[in-house]
Amino acid sequence: MDKVETMDRYLSAFKAFAGNGAAAAPAWLQELREVGISQFAALGFPSTRQERWRFTSVKPIIEGAFAFPGSAPRVVPEQVAGYVPEEDALRIVFVNGSYDEGLSSVPELPAGVAIEPLARALERDDERVRTHLGRLASMKNPFTALNTAFAVDGAFVFVPTGVELKQTANFIFLSDSVAGPQVSHPRNLIVVEDGARVRVIETYAGLDGGSYLTNAVTEVLVGDNARVDCYRVQRESPQAYHIASTHSKQRRDSWYSCNPVVLGAELSRHDVWMVLDGEGGEGLLNGLYVMGDNQHVDHNTVIEHAKPRCESHEYFNGILDDRSRAVFNGRIVVRPGAQKTDSKQTNNNLLLSEHARADSQPQLEIYADDVKCTHGATLGPLDDNTLFYLQSRGMSAKAAQSMLTYGFCVEILDRIEIPQLRDHLEELVKNRLEASHSLEGAG
């Protein structure tokens, strides 16, 4: 299937969707969806001739002929347990893009707090959703526009002023390809008002080893003096395709962290756009990817300092084995007037195979004169001198390599502030490295 045929198929699918399942939506949502499909039609699929997609071809997605899901497969609770790091956790589960109430568990919440499927909030035309949905996510990205056109379900979080939610909100998106290659468009909206606090975990995983497409968009609004910690675990199947974008905006004296961990998918692309739009805001972007076989992972990030006296710290570490490839394009933008900005960006890649490849492009755009900004990138194999030192202290060559490889991951995982999640991810990373014979006797 070529690009024109695929475009026509999505446009036809939207026409059927708008005239059937989406016909009862409120006028504002219908209009938002129409803007999304029009933008997608105008932009088309990205190509490697475009600078932001220069190293990542979406040809497999264009040729994939992904269908919209029919009836969801039957999933038992035991299958979900492995994706939740905490027992009796607050969890909302989606299967092939649709909410599964039987697999979900939501206890009584503080007054005014909403943690629920987005579809439920859209059905009652929730004013909080109407006010914020589609306000942050840029439809200059054709996949974001496509997601907006088909926005039906996903996670909705609202925490009112001054409320600290003690429990972590777990959102689990499970996909399968039993009925053939399918596509889902999860749409997540997180709104946290002044002085409120919440922790959220998004998990994307495959139920089988087949091919499917997940195209997810998350919008996060952080109020004055609020704190939001978002963790994102991508464990899609080895033949899956995962496209995502996360857009956040912070107000005065707020804290926001985005912590993506990528272990799955044949092709994965995540666009992150963080805007510090209030004086004194702090942001953390803390990512890890562990790739093997022919996996391809691409992170395209922008941290925009729009107001004075804000801090941001960005750390991405990647381990690449076999013929895997990583792309990192990170940009820090300091707007005029955003004085006293303090920003740091690093991307480190560990190549365990001579066939693995990493392309890293850290960038700074500074339009203010009283700032402190640094960036840097490294790529290469394990350091021979360090390996020699460890072996001189009695370690075997394999054990020394394992310790350094695992330590490269722990540098990122140690910044995760949920102990159960940190332990859970450490175990996943260990298993992944052991499976590829990159880890032995470490930990």
For residue 120 the two structure tokens come to 């439920």
Q: For residue 147, how far is the Cα from the chain centroid?
A: 14
Query: What DSSP assignment string belongs to 377-443?
Result: EEEES--HHHHHHHHHTT--HHHHHHHHHHHHHHHHHTT---HHHHHHHHHHHHHHHHHTT--SS--
Tell me what pLDDT residue 94 has. 95
304 and 273 Cβ atoms separated by less than 8 Å: yes
Tell me what pLDDT residue 208 has. 86
Measured CA to CA, the distance from residue 301 to residue 319 in angstroms comes to: 19
Tell me what pLDDT residue 443 has. 44
320 and 352 Cβ atoms separated by less than 8 Å: yes
For residue 295 the two structure tokens come to 């996996």
From the CB of residue 398, how many other CB atoms can be counted at a distance below 10 Å?
A: 14
Query: Structure pTM?
Result: 0.95
Q: Which residues contact 401 (CB under 8 A, 6 or more apart)?
A: 382, 387, 438
| pLDDT under 70: residue ranges of the chain | 1, 21, 71-72, 386-390, 394, 397, 399-400, 436-443
From the CB of residue 414, how many other CB atoms can be counted at a distance below 10 Å?
A: 11
